[in-house]
Structure 1
């Protein structure tokens, strides 16, 4: 299971913003994505990690359906 940033409709976004104001803290909305990570050969994993470092982001390889 992965949890990317959720896409929010206006009502949902307003509810999250109201909660942020009430608790005085930013809130990040995530959505559940039912998938499994891919098992990569060592060389492919190294390539993924190199690109992560270059871009300053986290990359996750997932199994294709």
Structure 2
């Protein structure tokens, strides 16, 4: 299972914002995404890691459906 930022309805967003005020800091809402990670050969893994560094993001290779 992987996680991405959740899409929230107004009432859920309001509840999270209220919690943030109570605890004095930000809260991030994530939603589960059904996906199985792919095992990459070393050369392909290196390319993925290089692109992560270049873009400043986390990349995850997943198995195609």
Q: Does the TM-score normalized on the shorter chain lie above 0.5?
A: yes
Say yes or no: does 1:35 pair with 2:35: yes
What is the Cα deviation at residue 64 of structure 1? 1.2
What is the Cα deviation at residue 6 of structure 1? 0.8
**Cα separation, 2, equivalents of 1:64 and 1:23:** 40
TM-score by length of 2: 0.92
1:39-54 equivalences under 5 Å are 39-54=39-54
Larger proportion of strand:
2
5+ unaligned residues in a row in structure 2: which ranges? none
Displacement over 6 Å in runs of 4+: none
**Cα separation, 2, equivalents of 1:47 and 1:9:** 38
Say yes or no: does 1:5 pair with 2:5: yes
Say yes or no: does 1:16 pair with 2:16: yes
Number of equivalenced pairs = 65
How big is the alpha-carbon RMSD for the aligned residues of Structure 1 and Structure 2?
Answer: 0.8
